[in-house]
Amino acid sequence: MTLKERITEDMKAAMRAKEADKLGTIRLLQAAMKQKEVDERIELDDAAIVAIVDKLLKQRKDSITAFEGAGRQDLADKEKAEVAVLQVYLPERMSAEEITAAVQAIVAELGASGPGDMGKVMGAVKSQLAGKADMGQGSAAVKAALTA
């Protein structure tokens, strides 16, 4: 079963169980997927769907930070519930140690040194670790590897 089919089945299950919050989040994800398909005239594969889920998760995390800073815990809690629903569709994530090891291998492979090579290294990190690792952690690992 593809990720797209799984999301559709989860939506149907949420409808039957009358889980309004989960249903709303899944519909939001499906709308983002459909938007990408229509805009680019393509059929999304699992990797593209994972990228969309990653983007939606980053938006939710940014919103949580903003809402908590503004003292709106009710809205932050709603966003946290959406994060929990969306994270189900991501593959197993790499640990911080695995990310650091992968980044160090990429830096060694490219022969990069110093902060000036950040862009070159991040390009390789994104292509190799996309969907497997949190890019925020990846970026931090690249900075640490290049300043060491």
pLDDT digits (tens, 9 = 90+) for 1-20: 899 999 999 999 999 999 99
Distance CA 138, CA 148 (A): 15
pLDDT at residue 111, rounded to an integer: 79
Alpha-carbon separation of residue 38 from 33, 35, 42 (angstroms): 9, 5, 7
pLDDT digits (tens, 9 = 90+) for 84-134: 999 999 888 888 888 888 888 888 888 777 777 788 888 888 888 877 787
Asked if 132 contacts 103 with a C-beta cutoff of 8 angstroms, the reply is no
pLDDT at residue 6, rounded to an integer: 95
pLDDT at residue 109, rounded to an integer: 85
Among 15, 14, 28, smallest CA distance to 63 is for 28
pLDDT digits (tens, 9 = 90+) for 24-59: 999 999 999 999 999 999 999 888 898 899 899 999
Segment 41-46 long-range contacts (CB within 8 Å, at least 24 positions apart)? 44/4, 45/2, 46/2, 46/3, 46/4
User: How many Cβ atoms from other residues are within 10 Å of residue 138's Cβ?
Assistant: 24
State yes or no: pLDDT of 140 exceeds 90: no
pTM: 0.77
Sign of CA dihedral 24, 14, 12, 17: negative
Tokens 């503004």, residue? 70
| pLDDT level of residue 70 (50, 70, 90 thresholds) | very high
Asked if 132 contacts 91 with a C-beta cutoff of 8 angstroms, the reply is yes
Query: Token digits for 7?
Result: 């999301």
